[in-house]
Amino acid sequence: MPSIFTILGSILLAVLLFCLFNQLRSRRSVPGRRLPPGPRPWPIIGNLPQLGPAPHQTIAALARKHGPLMHLRFGLVDVVAAASASVAAQFLKAHDTNFLSRPPSSAAKHVGYNYHDLVLAPYGPRWRLMRKIASVHLLSGKALEDFRYVRQEEAAVLIRGLANAGPTAINLAQLLHLCTTNTLGRAMLGYRVFGDGSGKSDPRADEFKSMVVEALAVAGVFNIGDFVPALEWLDLQGVVARMKKVHKRFDAFLTRIIEEHKANAGNGKHTDMLTTLLSVKEDADGHEGGKLTETEIKALLLNIFIAGTDTSSSTVEWAIAELIRHPKILAQVQEELDRVVGRDRLVSELDLPQLTYLKALVKETFRLHPSTPLSLPRIAAENCDINGYHIPKGTTLLVNVWAIARDPAEWTDPLLFRPERFLPGGEKAEVDVRGNDFEVIPFGSGRRMCVGMRLGLRTVQLLTASLVHAFNFGLANGLVPEKLNMDEAYGLTLQRASPLMVHPWPRLSEHVYEAKI
């Protein structure tokens, strides 16, 4: 344990650094080049104490007072928050090339294999290589089509498991996470990671979900040590210890997967994505030629298993919760599904283009419950000016996706769940979620937007359609829909504060649920 004198010395050093930082910053200031407005920071730790347990909500409330382009101070670091579509477009479109990199963070160091992953790594040649490999080999249009049958089969497994669940209330979050994990597992590794294919819950899958949720929770913490380096070693919030612990668990999981894959590589039967990763030899961008390292492969797998499972399953869970609360909307979705698909088979991905209302429902879910409420931070490579305000080099950028999607200047009755706003004739009929319309950007925008956007969108649409088509849902313990808890649990992704517990009631022909997969 550090002595009291060591702790006091560290705090004194932090105070001196803070004063020095302020002095240097005031010397750098140029008349007429002012920072955006914002709340007054505290000494040393700045505005960090104001963030509270739900930073996306707190920053949104501060933006209503100080404006949609707001300056904050996190320790010694300048931070700007964008809370409107027009301001986000300035950063992510007009100045995208200046905000391509990530700031240094304990999450990138201790969870993301010391900056070797795709999501948290700084911009540079190795990031471009990994992005290209992911885009071309893992998440391309061809790859999505090649593994369409996997997504459909695992959706059918989920439906069959729910149909055979019995009278006990089902934790929908667990089964959705099992489904998305096995879907990715079969595409990435060639086999189901958990379960026996019956769709029933698996304790190992539940443990894996807890690992994913923990990783997302610790990665979403604003760690004091990231913003006041003199205090980093103290780990005042205990977050670094948690990061190291969850990383160790994930590393053991990923190492075992790779070693087993190598041991079975000689049988020539693998057509999965990990085989492709292990076979990649050259850097297609011509930078830093050579092979992907095993660490980079594990880091990519980590990104895919975390970002590709919980974001999709949580979004579907939010969608079902909203439909339970809005029975008229549920009836409209089911009417469309019955008309397009019928009641004698399950939904296919080939049906999705004809499901106009279903797609509007998914857009509205992404709007009101974005999987990443605060965008992953970016850092300014050079000084720039946004809307007449000076943004210094090294400033961290946060785009408040949650606040933008609830901005009354952009949306009529923004707190209401209303898919019709995205239908022809609706207020946002032409708005999409693919990063070009800044009113709703659940996958981000620009060069650092989510590389798995197309996969995530297909997965959410298919699973939502499958569940709504196959079942009506009642709530556990006789809870009425009006009393359903819709509180959020903040992390790097937006979880429900309490899992959705449901009773599924089949509504299709009986033989649909008996079909073998």
C-beta of residue 97 within 8 angstroms of C-beta of residue 413: no
Domain count, the chain: 1
477 is a domain residue = yes
Of 150, 152, 153, 204, nearest to 177 (Cα)? 204
Q: What was the pLDDT predicted at 26?
A: 45
Q: What was the pLDDT predicted at 27?
A: 39
15 is a domain residue = no
Q: What was the pLDDT predicted at 270?
A: 52
- Four-CA torsion 261, 265, 267, 269, nearest 10 degrees: 70
4 is a domain residue = no
For residue 60, give its domain range: 32-514
What parts of the chain have a pLDDT lower than 50?
Answer: 1, 5, 23-24, 26-29, 282-289
Q: Rounded to an integer, what distance in angstroms lies between the CA atom of residue 375 and that of residue 360? A: 23
495 is a domain residue = yes
Condensed to tens digits (0 to 9), the pLDDT of residues 68-123 reads 999 999 999 999 999 999 999 999 999 999 999 999 999 999 999 999 999 999 99
Q: What was the pLDDT predicted at 202?
A: 81
Of 391, 377, 47, 53, nearest to 228 (Cα)? 47
60 is a domain residue = yes
13 is a domain residue = no
Of 384, 375, 345, nearest to 440 (Cα)? 375
Condensed to tens digits (0 to 9), the pLDDT of residues 341-376 reads 999 999 999 999 999 999 999 999 999 999 999 999
DSSP annotation of 46 reads B
SS (H, E, C) 62-97: HHHHHCCEEEEEECCEEEEEECCHHHHHHHHHHCHH
Q: Is 19 annotated as a binding residue?
A: no
CATH code, domain with 82: 1.10.630.10
401 is a domain residue = yes
- The CA distances from residue 407 to 60, 179, 196, 372, 441, in Å, are 9, 34, 45, 17, 13
- Four-CA torsion 366, 368, 374, 380, nearest 10 degrees: 70
Q: What was the pLDDT predicted at 211?
A: 93
- b or e along 134-154 (b: 16 or more beta carbons within 10 Å of the residue's beta carbon)? beebbbeeebbeebeebbbbb
476 is a domain residue = yes
Classify 110 as helix, strand or coil.
helix
Q: Rounded to an integer, what distance in angstroms lies between the CA atom of residue 40 and that of residue 430? A: 40
Q: What contacts 482, CB < 8 A, 6 or more positions away?
A: 325
